[in-house]
Copies of this chain bind each other. A is one copy, B any other.
Amino acid sequence: MTNKPLILVTNDDGITAPGIRTLISIMNEIGEVVVVAPDSPQSGMGHAITVNSTIFVEKVVVDDGPQAEYSCSGTPADCVKLANREILKRKPDLCVSGINHGSNSSINVIYSGTMSAAIEAGVEGIPAIGFSLLDYNWNANFEGTRRYIKTIVENVLKEKLPKDVVLNVNLPNLPEGEIKGIKVCRQARANWVEEFDKRHSPQGREYYWLTGKFVNLDHGEDTDEWALEHGYVSVVPVQFDLTAHHCIQNLNTWNFND
């Protein structure tokens, strides 16, 4: 018998990524950990689910920690669904996703496999947090994030998240001593200005690589972008009711039924 919380860990960079290995080691200090994560990188997968293909799952051992681990051929959202229905003995007390190699702040939340796993858990009524570090490198230094991740997880376990809300946490790429603290924020209004890199295959066929420049259109000082630029860890509460409730009254004045 244990009173330890049951924690589901997943990500979108794949089960061997340094980011998830750090997250697992932090979670081992807090609870009983089960990992169900993609067997390969899934970045940019958004909230994809595998509906037209099979999903393979395998029990694996990646390091010598106490966690149980499963490697899955599906997307991050698939991993959460499969964990809840087929792998875990009971509903987990928390789902954490990440630590993503790279930012999921502002508009990136909608493209993020990391956050799709957290949102999927949220839809199923499980408190959930996505963590991302603002460093795209595979060998990024995740050590500076430990203290902040632990603080946020402990708060979530103690205070309980509001219904139908998950957290999107981004961590600045700074040594621990230079991080100024944790800031609750709103999602900055930003977008990507794509520049497609057009090339020709050896056979002469045109193709593109998607590249782009992130543009922050939001000058507010209460946004995640502002917090990260100023050395804070950003915490954005994220909902999956996408209804723009403030527009319903306006739309009801349109001539839809004349």
Mark the stretch among A3-11, A29-37, A61-69, A205-213 that contacts chain B.
Answer: A205-213
Is A242 part of the binding interface, using a Cβ–Cβ cutoff of 8 Å?
A: yes
0 or 1 for each of A208-226: is its CB under 8 Å from B? (1 = yes): 1110000000000000000
Q: A85-B194, A196-B86, A198-B86 are in contact. Are A48 and B48 (CB under 8 A)?
A: yes
- A160-178 contacts to B, CB under 8 A, are 162, 164-165, 168
Cβ contacts under 8 Å, A86 to chain B? 196, 198, 208
Q: Is the CB of A41 within 8 A of B46?
A: no
A256 touches which one: B49, B74, B182, B187 (CB < 8 A)?
A: B182
Cβ contacts under 8 Å, A185 to chain B? 248
Q: Is the CB of B50 within 8 A of A210?
A: yes
Kindly state the interface size class of chain A when it binds its partner: 35 or more
Which interface residue of A44, A84, A186 has the most chain B CB atoms within 10 A?
A: A44
Cβ contacts under 8 Å, A137 to chain B? none
CB of A80 to closest CB in B, whole Å: 10
Cβ contacts under 8 Å, A240 to chain B? 107, 110, 242
Is A25 part of the binding interface, using a Cβ–Cβ cutoff of 8 Å?
A: no
Nearest-CB residue, chain B, relative to A212: B81
Cβ contacts under 8 Å, A257 to chain B? 181-182
Is A255 part of the binding interface, using a Cβ–Cβ cutoff of 8 Å?
A: yes
Q: Is the CB of A189 within 8 A of B78?
A: no
Q: How far is the CA of A12 from the CA of B224 in the complex (A)?
A: 31
Is A140 part of the binding interface, using a Cβ–Cβ cutoff of 8 Å?
A: no
Nearest-CB residue, chain B, relative to A241: B187
Q: Is the CB of A48 within 8 A of B55?
A: no
Cβ contacts under 8 Å, A165 to chain B? 244, 247
Q: Is the CB of B43 within 8 A of A52?
A: yes
